[in-house]
Structure 1
Amino acid sequence: MLQVLSEAATIAAQAPRIGAWYFEILFGLGALILLVAWLPIALHRVALSLPIVCVLIGVGVFSVTPFAVWAPHPDNAPVLVERSAELIVIVSLMGAGLKLGRKCGWHSWNVTWRLLGLAMPLTIAMVMILGSVLLGLGLATALLLGAALAPTDPVLAGDVQIEHDEDESEAEAKFALTSEAGLNDALAFPFIHLAIAIAAAGSLTAEVAGEWLLKDVVWKLAAGLAMGVAIGWLVGKMTYSLPSDTRLSRTGDGFIALGVTLVTYTATEFAGGYGFLSVFVAGLMIRQAAQGNEFNRRLHDFADEAERLLMMFLLLMFGGMIAGGLLADIGWEEALFAAVMLLIIRPVAGWLSLIGVKRPPFERGVIAFFGIRGLGSVYYLSYGFNHGSFESEYSLWGTLGLIIAASVVMHGVTVTAAFDKLSARSHKAWVARRGGGAA
Structure 2
Amino acid sequence: MDDAFFSFDDYHITLALVGAVVILSRWLPRLFSDREPAAAPLMILFGAGAALLVPDHLQMLPDPREVPRPWELVSELAVIVALFGAGMRIDSLRPWRRWIPTVRMLAIAMPLTILAVALLGVWLGGLTLAGAILLGAVLAPTDPVLAADVQVGPPQEGAEHPVRFTLTTEAALNDGLAFPFVYLGLIIAAEGFSPGAWALQWVGLDIFYRIAVGVGMGWLGGRALGFVLFMVPKGSVLADTGSGVIAFAGVLLCYGSTELVEGYGFIAVAVLGLTLRRIEEDHHFHRRLHNFSESIEHALTAILLVALGTALPMLFADLDWTHLWIALALILLIRPAAGWVALMGTQITHHDRGVVSVYGVRGIGSIYYLCYASGHVEFFNEAQLWSLVALVILLSTLLHGFTVGWAMDRLGDHDPD
Cα distance change of structure 1 residues 329 and 235 upon mapping to structure 2, 3 Å threshold: same
Partner SS for 1:290: coil
> How far apart are 1:287 and its partner, in Å?
0.7
2:404 is equivalent to residue 415 of structure 1: yes
| Number of the residue aligned with 1:58 | 47
Residue deviations 1:221-244 (CA, integer Å, cap 9, x gap) = 111111100010111122122344
Contact 1:72 1:320 in 2 (8 A): no
Q: Secondary structure at the match of 1:327?
A: helix
Q: Any conservation in 1 of the 2:152–2:160 contact (CA below 8 Å)?
A: no
Aligned to 2:342: 353
Q: C-alpha separation between the residues in 2 aligned to 1:163 and 1:294?
A: 15
* Corresponding position of 2:284: 294
**1:144/1:24 CA distance change after superposition, 3 Å:** closer
1:179 paired residue number: 169
Q: Is the 8 A contact 2:359 2:400 kept in 1?
A: yes
Question: Match of 1:99?
Answer: 89
1:199 equivalenced with 2:189 (yes/no): yes
Name whichever of 391-400 and 41-50 sits farther off: 41-50
User: How big is the shift at 1:41?
Assistant: 7.0
Whether 1:160 aligns to 2:150 is yes
Which segments of 5 or more consecutive residues in structure 2 lack a partner in the other structure?
1-5
Q: In structure 2, what is the equivalent of residue 400 of structure 1?
A: 389
Out of 235, 238, 254, the residue aligned to residue 245 of structure 1 is 235
Query: Which residue matches 2:3?
Result: none
Query: 1:329 Cα deviation (Å)?
Result: 2.2
- For 2:105, the equivalent position in structure 1 comes to 115
Q: What do residues 143-185 of structure 1 show as CA deviations (whole Å, max 9, x unaligned)? A: 1111111100011111111111476555111111111010000
Please report the TM-score for the alignment, with normalisation by the length of structure 1.
0.87
> How many percent identity over aligned positions?
39
Task: Write the letter of the residue equivalent to 2:408.
Answer: F
Q: Which residue of 2 aligns with 1:4?
A: none
- Conserved in 1, the CA contact under 8 Å of 2:98 and 2:162? no
Structure 1 residue aligned with 2:296: 306
Counterpart code for 2:229:
T
CA RMSD, 1 decimal: 2.6
Residue matched to 2:213: 223
- Residue 231 of structure 1 aligns with an amino acid whose one-letter code is G
Aligned counterparts of 2:138 and 2:193: Cα–Cα separation in 1: 20
Aligned equivalents of 1:282, 1:41: Cα separation in 2: 36
Say yes or no: does 1:389 pair with 2:367.
no
Note if contact 1:372-1:407 (Cα within 8 Å) is conserved in structure 2.
Answer: yes
Residues 334/152 of structure 1: CA separation in 2 closer, same or farther (3 Å cut): same
Structure 1: stretches of 5+ with no match in the other structure: 1-16, 432-439
TM-superposed CA distance for 1:132, in Å, is 1.0
Counterpart AA for 1:357: T
Q: TM-score, normalised by structure 2?
A: 0.91
Aligned-partner residue type, residue 114 of structure 2: I
Number of aligned residue pairs:
411
Superposition deviation, residue 23 in structure 1: 6.5
1:357/1:43 CA distance change after superposition, 3 Å = farther
Displacement of 1:46 in angstroms is: 5.7
* Higher alpha-carbon deviation: 100-109 or 155-164: 100-109
Counterpart residue number, 1:74: 64
Aligned-residue offset at 1:334 = 0.8
Q: Which amino acid aligns with 1:257?
A: A
2: CA distance, partners of 1:243 / 1:166: 25
The corresponding residue for 1:278 is 268
- Whole-Å separation in 1 of the counterparts to 2:21 and 2:246: 25
Query: Equivalent of 1:366, from 350, 355, 364?
Result: 355
**How far off is 1:207 after superposition?**
2.8
Say whether 1:234 aligns with 2:224.
yes
Q: Return the alpha-carbon distance in structure 2 between the equivalents of residues 308 and 44 of structure 1.
A: 21
Q: Is the 8 A contact 2:88 2:155 kept in 1?
A: no
Question: Cα offset for 1:24?
Answer: 5.6
Question: Is the Cα–Cα contact under 8 Å of residues 156 and 372 in structure 1 kept in the other structure?
Answer: yes
Write the distance in 2 (CA, Å) between the matches of 1:104 and 1:197: 39
Partner residue in 1 for 2:130: 140
State the one-letter code of the partner of 2:72. Answer: E
Residue in structure 2 matching 1:260, options 239, 250, 263: 250
Matches within 5 A, 1:28-39: 28=17, 31=20
Q: In the alignment, what sits opposite 1:14?
A: none
Residues in 2 aligned to 1:54 and 1:417: alpha-carbon distance in whole angstroms: 21
Residue in structure 2 matched with residue 86 of structure 1 by the alignment: 76
Relative to structure 1, the CA distance from residue 170 to residue 222 in structure 2 (aligned partners, 3 Å threshold; closer, same or farther) is: closer
Deviation at 1:386, TM superposition (A): 1.5
Structure 1: distance between partners of 2:41 and 2:235:
45
